[in-house]
Amino acid sequence: MGYQQYGISPQLVERIKLKMKNPAIKERIKGLTQGLTKADLQNSAKVHQLIRTASGILNEKLSSAQEQQMVQFVLAQRIDPNNTFHLIKLWGMFR
């Protein structure tokens, strides 16, 4: 799995996936990510802020090291939210 190479634990990913099944939380996260661009997801400060906000919504306490690992992961993926192939690739990674 790609995210494990960045030091992100599978247990954390599973906890987040479970919490995302809650419709209220899912809608709040969708609102947070709506309108993001490729440039937003390549901006380290913006990604860091998104991760902090999302962890608050999910009630996950992340260490600064975990936050930094997630930022590096997102930046390395070069995600374009308007590219269906990128979204399918991410879906497969976290399925």
pLDDT in tens, 61-90: 999 999 999 999 999 999 999 899 988 988
Residue 32 pLDDT level (bands cut at 50, 70, 90): very high
For the chain, give every domain's residue range.
3-94
Predicted confidence (pLDDT) per residue in 41-59, tens digit: 999 999 999 999 999 999 9
The structure's pTM equals 0.87
CA distances from 1 to 28, 77, 94 (A): 27, 13, 8
pLDDT of residue 94: 82
What is the residue-wise DSSP string for 23-75?
HHHHHHHHHHHTT--TTGGG-HHHHHHHHHHHHHHTT----HHHHHHHHHHHH
CA distances from 86 to 31, 60, 64, 93 (A): 20, 26, 27, 11
pLDDT of residue 95: 80
pLDDT of residue 1: 55
Distance CA 40, CA 71 (A): 12
Asked whether the predicted pLDDT for residue 6 surpasses 70, the reply is yes
Distance CA 43, CA 86 (A): 17
